[in-house]
Amino acid sequence: MTQLAGKVAVITGGSASIGLATARRFVAEGARVFLTGRRAEPLAAAAGDLGPAATGVPGDVTSAEHLDRLHAAVAEHGRGLDVLFANAGGGSFTPFGEVTPDAFDETMASNARGVYFTVQRLLPLLNRDASVILMSSVGGTVAVPGLSVYSAAKAAIRSLARGLAAELGERGIRVNAISPGYIRTKPGQADVDAFQAAGAAGTPLRRVGRPEEVAAAALFLASGESSYVTGTELFVDGGRTQV
């Protein structure tokens, strides 16, 4: 039996990489999936590839108007929401002394503010015993030079998972964070490949991870297999932070 049969899921940042790999896994496990993405063309291609069980809802999680649009699309489906994977985010390398206020605000908005208000806006749709999964990062735990703002935002997400787990637990809603390590999300880019190769050398498993491996962790947290798991941070990092 599929693990998410009859469930409705939302995945933000679902048109590529970890988000798309998770959408594929959720659809394969029987879920009806709503995907968001800022770029309409890749989002439409992703939804088309996933088939009739997926719907693309173009939008940016930092926009209240776009979150309203997402809320309306899921509400129209009429079955509430069982799984929310707040995955959208990202960052770039900038030395601490060169970070501008605008760059700080942009990174915090996409990685922390956007996650916070995505959950808040979709909260009325969450069914009892729903699962909320927040995308954090090993960067919120270990130091990565040049990623000070991104790391601060991801550390905030870890704290948010705890706070929401405590606040929403009375409704049976579970809230957990996933913290990936070095994941091969953009193969073929020389600077990214070099960064990941260096990271793999310091990882006990001596390799980078695959988006599908993060998707498997998301499936665990989304399914009934984790029915008594909440407030946790699940590292998918080849042992990078734990060994």
Q: Are 224 and 218 in contact (CB under 8 A)?
A: no
| Catalytic site includes residue 7 | no
At residue 187 the predicted structure's pLDDT band, cuts being 50, 70 and 90, is low
Q: How many domains does the chain have?
A: 1
- Supply the range of the domain harboring residue 79: 8-236
Going along 59-137, which residue ranges are E strands?
81-86, 126-135
- In this prediction, residue 1 carries a pLDDT of 63
Establish if 118 belongs to a structural domain. yes
| Catalytic site includes residue 228 | no
- In this prediction, residue 220 carries a pLDDT of 98
Q: Which tokens go with 31?
A: 């879920």
Active-site residue (options: 150, 182, 186, 228): 150
Query: CA-CA distance, 2 to 118, in Å (whole number)?
Result: 27
Active-site residue (options: 154, 182, 186, 228): 154
At residue 197 the predicted structure's pLDDT band, cuts being 50, 70 and 90, is confident
| DSSP notation for 3-41 | TTTT-EEEETT-SSHHHHHHHHHHHHTT-EEEEEES-HH
Buried b (16+ CB within 10 A) or exposed e, 201-222: eebeeeebbebebbbebbbbbb
The mean pLDDT of the chain is 95
Establish if 2 belongs to a structural domain. no
Q: Cβ neighbours of residue 102 under 8 Å, at least 6 residues apart? A: none
What percent of the chain stands above pLDDT 90? 90
What are the tens digits of pLDDT across the range 111-148?
A: 999 999 999 999 999 999 999 999 999 999 998 899 99
Q: Which tokens go with 98?
A: 């060169």
Q: How far is CA 92 from the centre of its chain?
A: 17
Helix (H) or strand (E) holding 1: none
Establish if 60 belongs to a structural domain. yes
Q: Cβ neighbours of residue 193 under 8 Å, at least 6 residues apart? A: 187
Establish if 29 belongs to a structural domain. yes
Establish if 176 belongs to a structural domain. yes
What are the tens digits of pLDDT across the range 18-59?
A: 999 999 999 999 999 999 999 999 999 999 999 999 999 999
Establish if 30 belongs to a structural domain. yes
CATH of the domain at 36: 3.40.50.720
Strand partners, 174: 131
Establish if 94 belongs to a structural domain. yes
Say what the pTM is.
0.96
